Amino acid sequence: MTSISKHDHPHSSTGLLHAKPWQVAMIGLGTAATQLDTSVNIAFPAITRGFDLSIGDIQWVVICYVLTYASLLLALGRIGDAVGHARVFRIGLIWSTVALLLVGWSPSFGAMLFFRCLQGVGAALVLSCGAALVINLHGENRRSQALGIYTMMLSLGLMLGPLLGGALTAAWDWPAVFWFRAPIAVAALLLLRGMPASPRREAADRFDIPGGLALILGLVTMLLALNRIREFSAIWFALLSAAAFAAFIVRESRAARPIIAIEILRQPGFALLNLVSVLANLAAFSVWLLVPYFLARVPGYSLTESGIILATAAAGAVLAAPIAGRMAGRHISTERLAIAGAVAVGGGLLLLGAWTEQTPTILRIAGLAVQGVGVGLFQLAYSDIVTAALPLRDRGVAGSLVLLTRTLGTVTAASVVLLVFGILNVKYGFLEGFQKTFQLAALLAFVAAGLLAFSSRRVGDRADYEA
């Protein structure tokens, strides 16, 4: 593939729009309505009591939401590229507002799961176009900085979710973790003015409905296969997913305007790059799965103190992402920045793997912060590489692909990391099982860094097949 520098591209100097801080803040506020869903995890015990559920049933609160938004991201990103990112983003805010109110009102657990699926649709509408909007405001020549700000905003929502969730649940029970986000979405909708007008839709730019349906089916069944990896049904879901993706590839190779160009997917370097993102996020998400259980065993920590300690992982990403956005491409290449991020994730996980019940709090915070900084560096750099590799007209698809690989990593972690920890816990006990699980997760992050060093030589700055 012959690379085309962003400075040589005819549309690269799109600095026609200058970022207004309040507009960027409103995009971040709208995105926060989805990212603050981490507050729901704290409300799981209250939801279980409220609907008289078994502990195993609570997983469907997560599955319905994640399956819906993850399966729709790429398709809605493509629609945003066609009809206008601001329009899709606004529809997402309206949809999310209604869905959040309905989830909090749920009269039964079945109704709650249905409304969670609706909430997932709203999240996909918002997330599929958020990154594209921020880039449009800053201009293509400031893409890295824009992505740094957007990554920071995503991490900020993840950080605040658990902190707010506990207080809200204690004061107003579990519906509060949904209702408090509705005013946030409404405020963003009302204040988000002056965004770029939607482009005029051309006949050749119509959305490929059959391809979109095949893609959604492939993603849903793949996520179900990952979630059911310990069950025989995972095989059937995997086979159905493979068939759906094969149909998607055949359809897109013939489409005049594919959802994502097959040419870029066929390039080994680009495919490996996205696999690396899945692996890095798989390793990093082990923190959110296992650290809460460790902190609960440590005498002297209240629930609030444990939440603050855990939040330092996301705080590291909040601090690192905007700094990395300013450094990328100027002081250090994005490829090296991504490798450094993956290495930092591995280093932080190794520090966690050395924890004992006597480890000082400051060292626990240090390990989480190092891992969080690594996540911030990696996510920013990976986002920039993928965005640069796809055509300018596919900004929504690029941002959606970044979020999709992150989601695949976290869903895989929920199955694989817990499976590995369960085996090691039985064999060695909780503490040693905890340590060995994080040592394995660190190894996975280092493998991701090694693969990235190889894949960075295979992906150019921009696709050369853009029309």
Find the helix packing angle between 361-389 and 143-172, rounded to 10°.
130
H helices of 139-208, in order, are 143-172, 176-179, 181-191
Say how far apart CA 20 and CA 179 lie, in whole Å: 29
Note whether 353 and 439 are within 8 A (CB). Answer: yes
Q: Quick check: helix, strand or coil at residue 139?
A: coil
The number of helices, as runs of H, and strands, as runs of E, in the chain is: 18, 0
pLDDT at 18: 53
Question: Using one digit for the tens of pLDDT, what is the confidence trace for 400-446?
Answer: 888 888 888 888 887 788 889 889 999 999 999 999 999 999 999 99
Say how far apart CA 154 and CA 169 lie, in whole Å: 23
Say how far apart CA 147 and CA 238 lie, in whole Å: 33
Q: Quick check: helix, strand or coil at residue 255?
A: coil
Tokens for 376? 């911030």
3-state secondary structure 369-425: HHHHHHHHHHHHHHHHHHHHHCCHHHHHHHHHHHHHHHHHHHHHHHHHHHHHHHHHH
Say how far apart CA 313 and CA 210 lie, in whole Å: 41
pLDDT at 74: 84
Classified by CATH at the fold level, domain 263-467 comes out as: Growth Hormone; Chain: A; (1.20.1250)
pLDDT at 137: 76
Among 289, 223, 270, 240, smallest CA distance to 401 is for 270
Say how far apart CA 440 and CA 238 lie, in whole Å: 25
Say how far apart CA 124 and CA 91 lie, in whole Å: 11
The b/e string for 419-435 (b: 16+ C-beta within 10 A; e otherwise) is ebbeebbeeeeeeebbb
Domain 17-196 = CATH 1.20.140.150: no
Note whether 285 and 413 are within 8 A (CB). Answer: yes
Among 225, 276, 272, smallest CA distance to 416 is for 225
Q: Is the dihedral of CA 369, 374, 380, 383 positive or negative?
A: negative
Tokens for 345? 């994730």
Find the helix packing angle between 395-428 and 59-83, rounded to 10°.
160
Q: How far is CA 380 from the centre of its chain?
A: 12
Close Cβ partners of 272 (under 8 Å, ≥ 6 residues apart): 451, 454, 455, 458
Close Cβ partners of 350 (under 8 Å, ≥ 6 residues apart): 438, 439, 442
Among 96, 152, 144, smallest CA distance to 120 is for 96
Tell me which residue has tokens 């707010």: 164
Question: Burial, 383: exposed, middle or buried (Cβ in 10 Å; 0-12, 13-18, 19+)?
Answer: buried
Question: Using one digit for the tens of pLDDT, what is the confidence trace for 326-348?
Answer: 887 677 888 889 999 999 999 99
Spans in the chain with pLDDT lower than 50: 1-17, 203, 459-467
